[in-house]
Each structure stands twice: as structure tokens, then as C-alpha cells.
Amino acid sequence: MSRHYEIVVDRIRCDGRGLCAELLPELIRLDDWGYPIISPGPIPEHLMPLAERAVEDCPVLALTLRRTEQGKRASR
């Protein structure tokens, strides 16, 4: 079974810097106040390196990757 991950935002930590949406616009867009809206569901395989980069580069360390069950739709 292949591994599936989703992006989880710590909403208290998140400051709305918006770097994640620049690094991973395929999965992350910003709301009208600059806070990320994450596409639900597991991260497609080919976007994993970018997702890892977004997690590492978040200036306030608000993002994490969490393993999901295969095919299970994750909540935002």
C-alpha cells in the first residue's frame, strides 16, 4: 500500500504569510484575508516534494503532513 499524506494547518499558529500558496498553488489558495484554504484529500504523488517544501519553509511552522488512509477523503 502506497503512503498518502494530507496537509494540516495549525490554525492558531498560522499567521497568513502566504508562502505555502506560492509554493504549492495546485493545492493551496488564500482566502480574502490571506489565510490558506487547502484542497481536501490526499496529496498527489507528483506534488509530494513541493508539499514537503511548503511544510519546511512555513515561517511560523504551521504546516504538517499527516498520513491518511488510502483513498480516504480528508477534511480541510
Site residues (vs other proteins, CB under 8 A) = 9-12, 14-16, 31-35, 37, 75-76
Report, in Å, the least distance between residue 47 CB and other proteins.
21
* Alpha helix stretches (DSSP H) within the chain: 19-23, 48-57
Looking at beta carbons only, is 29 or 53 nearer to other proteins? 29
Q: How far is the CB of 9 from other proteins (least distance, A)?
A: 8
| Min separation Cβ 11 and other proteins, Å | 4
Nearer to other proteins, 37 or 45 (CB): 37
C-alpha to C-alpha distance for 38 and 19, rounded to whole angstroms: 13
Strands 4-9 and 63-68: antiparallel
Asked whether 59 and 69 are in contact (CB, 8 A), the reply is no
